[in-house]
Amino acid sequence: MSEKRRDNKNRILRTGESQRADGKYMYRYVDANGKTQSLYSWKLVRTDIVPEGKKDNGALRDLEKRVRRDLDDEIVPYGDGYTVLELVKKYVSQKTGVKNTTKAGYGTVINWLTSDSFGSKRIDKVKLSDAKIWLIKLQQENHKSYSTIHTIRGVVRPAFRMAVEDNILRKNPFDFELATVLVNDSVTREAITRKEERTFLEFIKNDKHYSQYYDAMYILFKTGMRISEFTGLTISDLDMKNRTININHQLQKTGTLVYIETNKTEAGKRVIPMTDGVYEAFKHMLEVRPRLKVEPMIDGYSGFLSFDKDGKPRIAMHWEKYFKHAVDKYNSTYRVQLPEITPHVCRHTYCSNMAKSGMNPKVLQYLMGHSDISVTLNTYTHLKLDDAKDELEKLSRVWEAEKEIARTENKSDLHSVDNRKHA
């Protein structure tokens, strides 16, 4: 029987373990790919003391446990050699059939990782703390906004999730809530008040220059349509007889490319009714719509409602500019200032107004084209103290009315009893 190998402290060494002349321990094993690998440490067990000036990378037997567990679970060693950038590229290559805007977002993330040192980091070396520190650095040193970092994490996290599912990694280091790490500096789009809406629309209606945009701005405030849905509308989408709007596509722009994108979700595809005011606004838009020699066509769609000076359909960017310039003109004229107003503010204002009016949330969800009711219900979180007071006052009036009815009914019952006594 051969004598078992021991270290310089006379401890028995296991199969694969050895100790070098300088005192450093080594463990050799064969990985899942059939290659011989080695682990090194100055400590055999946790209680050992690391020599002065040497790095403590954990006890050898703790490292062995992780290796054996990975081998048992068939986890590919060393993250299969992937860097963060390579992993993200692999993930993105599998995302076919996505929107052009989404493709552009993927490109932005890849470009950033190409220039950032984190992109060259091997994925099995990325710990939870590393992921958090990187995102903090993006915000504090690179001055990336919370929303931008949210977008970046929105690509990197599922890429790491793919690596876990492929048994390349055991854990996803990006599985944490972003708000627990970063300061959310996003500017919340607030709905404007009914008075501000009336003031703005009245100004637009009577302004010599901006009155040409009144119908469109009125429609945006009174339908809650996404600006890309509005710009994508064609004559055939308007049923003026039945007073309905058929929404099933959007006009988008990515880079220099202007294109039609069909609504991805069934919720986005909807037919909404026109109020009398919206009907009149659309009617006027059709009446003043320019007669073009050649109707511009985009991806098979023609008959758009509004055009720029070059005869091309107006896109979201045009309307964002018109709203901004109109607000600037108003604020340079009047002492009481208007807040920022954008097409999305119009949509948010419509949703808030309908919520305040007591509209059934499911009906509001349909009108807004929300696929998830929680998105609609979140509108209620933007309601303020005055809204709460109004609701309580309404309830108080209802309660008082119920009490009065109850008192009247009691009096009536007592009167009936008295009449029976005297009969």
Catalytic residues: 226, 264, 344, 347, 370, 380
Hey, which bits of 2-109 come out as E strands? 17-19, 25-30, 36-41
Q: Write out the H or E segment, with its range, that includes residue 36.
A: strand 36-41
Do 29 and 37 form a contact (C-beta atoms < 8 A)? yes
DSSP assignment of 197-218 equals HHHHHHHHHH-TTGGGGHHHHH
Six-digit token string for 259? 């294109």
Are 246 and 237 spatial neighbours (Cβ–Cβ below 8 Å)? yes
What φ, ψ does residue 132 adopt, rounded to 5°?
Answer: -65, -45
Q: What is the SS3 string spanning 270-285?
A: EEEECCHHHHHHHHHH
Q: Is the dihedral of CA 223, 229, 231, 236 positive or negative?
A: negative
The SS3 of residue 245 is: strand
C-alpha 14/C-alpha 56 separation (Å) is: 21
Determine contact, residues 89/105, Cβ cutoff 8 Å: no
Contact 84, 119 (CB under 8 A): yes
The answer to whether the beta carbons of residues 249 and 239 sit under 8 Å apart is: no
What gap in Å lies between CA 92 and CA 112, rounded to an integer? 14
Q: Is the dihedral of CA 61, 63, 64, 69 positive or negative?
A: positive
**C-alpha 258, offset from chain centre:** 23
